[in-house]
């Protein structure tokens, strides 16, 4: 099915067919119904609906709100509503990294875990060299 035909279907489902943002919302809902449609018809429909909304004077903020994006922070950047999962994953990776050099854990990276953090095998070797050097100087 062509994107223009799908847009007409979305327009017929919209609560106010004259409002391009309402048509965009209906197109988003229609895309959820057509998620298995072959040939990228869903992407074409969304592209066309967004273009029509922008041509009618809708702001990117208004378009983003229809997609479920939310505004956060003083710089007013868009963040998807599902971004908190990515931030949690990033925080978990950061917390699992070496507390000294921030080297991420991996199959060839050995970590020593303690109460206050973690230290990788390279930092352990470096610390051993530093302590051995101090011991030599003190003797």
Does the annotation place 51 within a ligand binding site?
Answer: no
pLDDT digits (tens, 9 = 90+) for 47-92: 888 888 889 888 888 888 888 776 555 555 555 555 556 566 666 6
Return the ∠ at Cα 46 (arms to 44 and 52), rounded to 5°.
100
pLDDT digits (tens, 9 = 90+) for 109-129: 888 888 888 999 999 999 999
Which tokens belong to 25?
């919302």
Which tokens belong to 127?
């610390």
Does the annotation place 98 within a ligand binding site?
Answer: yes
Per-residue confidence (pLDDT) for residue 78, from 0 to 100: 55
SS3 at position 71: strand
Does the annotation place 31 within a ligand binding site?
Answer: no
Per-residue confidence (pLDDT) for residue 85, from 0 to 100: 61
Longest dimension (CA), the chain: 88
| Cα 101 from chain centroid (whole Å) | 26
Query: What are the C-alpha distances in Å from 24 to residues 67, 83, 96?
Result: 9, 22, 42
Say what the pTM is: 0.49
**82 contacts 41 by C-beta, under 8 angstroms:** no
């Amino acid at each position: 099915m062509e994107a223009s035909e799908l847009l007409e279907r979305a327009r017929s489902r919209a609560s106010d067919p004259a409002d391009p943002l309402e048509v965009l919302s209906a197109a988003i809902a229609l895309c959820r119904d057509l998620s298995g449609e072959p040939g990228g018809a869903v992407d074409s429909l969304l592209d066309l609906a967004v273009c029509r909304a922008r041509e009618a004077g809708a702001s990117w903020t208004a378009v983003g709100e229809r997609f479920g994006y939310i505004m956060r922070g003083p710089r007013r950047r868009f963040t998807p509503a599902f971004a908190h999962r990515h931030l949690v994953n990033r925080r978990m990776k950061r917390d699992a990294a070496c507390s000294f050099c921030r080297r991420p854990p991996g199959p060839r990276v050995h970590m020593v875990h303690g109460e206050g953090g973690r230290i990788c095998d390279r930092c352990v070797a470096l610390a051993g060299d530093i302590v051995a050097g101090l011991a030599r100087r003190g003797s």
